[in-house]
Structure 1
Amino acid sequence: MLQAHMKSVIKYAIELDIDYIESFLGYEGDKVLEFITKKKDVVELIESYAKNLGLECKHEYEISGEHGPAYNIFIGVEDPSVFKLKK
């Protein structure tokens, strides 16, 4: 289920005007998708799509990033297969 949602977001975003896409493991083993785009409307489309799938989404505008001024969109998903220690 988790994997299917992530694949769905990637397939949707590839059709949009994105400059960069990356998937990585976050600090506590959560899976994170990062999209970079220069267009605000693309941010809104990806956020809306992710929220419809029940995924949490955050974005920021970076003025002097590696790809120039751009929006960074992060979708984080807690991976239930990762064992977590009590805090």
Structure 2
Amino acid sequence: MRDQSRFALPFGRTANLADAMFDTARGVSVESADISQIYVLRASQDPREFGAMTAWHLDARNAANFTLMTNFQMRPDDVMFVAQQPITT
């Protein structure tokens, strides 16, 4: 299991969900991660919607969904969460 960490968006360019997932230093541990439970949480930028959030769920057990990772653009303050395998809890 890897500890929580921050993924710095590259200055002057964009990053996608695959960049964050497979970052060699802080990426997701394939041994302990439940790849069927990948979430990205994004808070609303509208001050009238304080506390509002959008959540996306990705089940990466289907390899076709990996193409979605390369098209999902990460934004500052996004939170990516990957659940642990039940055996590791």
Fold conserved (TM > 0.5)? no
Q: TM-score, normalised by structure 1?
A: 0.28
Task: Work out which structure has the larger RCO, using CA pairs closer than 8 Å and 6 or more positions apart in sequence.
Answer: 2
Q: Please identify which structure carries the higher strand content.
A: 1
Query: What's the TM-score once normalised by structure 2's chain length?
Result: 0.28
> More helix per residue: 1 or 2?
1
